[in-house]
Structure 1
Amino acid sequence: MTNQKRLNMEIKGITLTPDEIAVYLQENGLNVNDTYNATDKAQTRKIYETALSILESIANQPALMKNYSQDDQTVSQFHENLMARIDQLDNKINKLKREEDKAANQNGSFFMLFNQ
């Protein structure tokens, strides 16, 4: 699976051109056609950061911040649901960063500020 396919799993239902997806991935240090490695926490974090960037771009479009009705169904509070998803991704990213930092500290790169 490529980074692009993994990102598409995360942003299912959001339509972007391949060029737009490539730009978002490149801005987060990923290449579209590189193989996604699910065990690499840094790469997973970058996928989440890319999805977060896309959602933040959507959140910057005021025309989308309204209630939608389709076939007798209403999707209300789009903005609130979008912001909740942004918060969820933010929390996942922060958790992955803490796990990466913990792993780095266990590998001997721990810095002692006060040494006696």
Structure 2
Amino acid sequence: MAGTDVLDIGDSTFKKEVLESDVPVLVDFTAAWCAPCRAIAPALAELASRYKGQVKVAKLDVDANQDTSQEFGIRSLPTLLMFKGGKVVEQIVGAVPKTRLEGVITKTLSGQA
């Protein structure tokens, strides 16, 4: 997703970019070999652009960043976790439509998550 507003994060940047973020962060736990992960990538890129400044959208490669993946119990891909104030407020497992992803973002921004 190079060239988009989606942040590429890892074990070493997770705390700063996600847990200490001033805005909510939607993290896509992904892998290069995961076809469903690639299928939702365009929707995530579009949402990252649409909500830039209000929400961060990030991706974390589970193969290269096993510590963070294990810490959050990631077992299936894609798994998306919405963080707000350093805590998980929503979880989505599997490839879902863009409308579902956007619903999580709007719910979080409205304070319902």
TM range (shorter): under 0.3
What TM-score results when the alignment is normalised by the length of structure 2? 0.25
TM-score scaled to structure 1, two decimals?
Answer: 0.25
Higher strand share: 2
- Kindly indicate whether structure 1 or structure 2 has the higher relative contact order, using CA contacts under 8 Å at least 6 residues apart: 2
Structure label with greater radius of gyration: 1
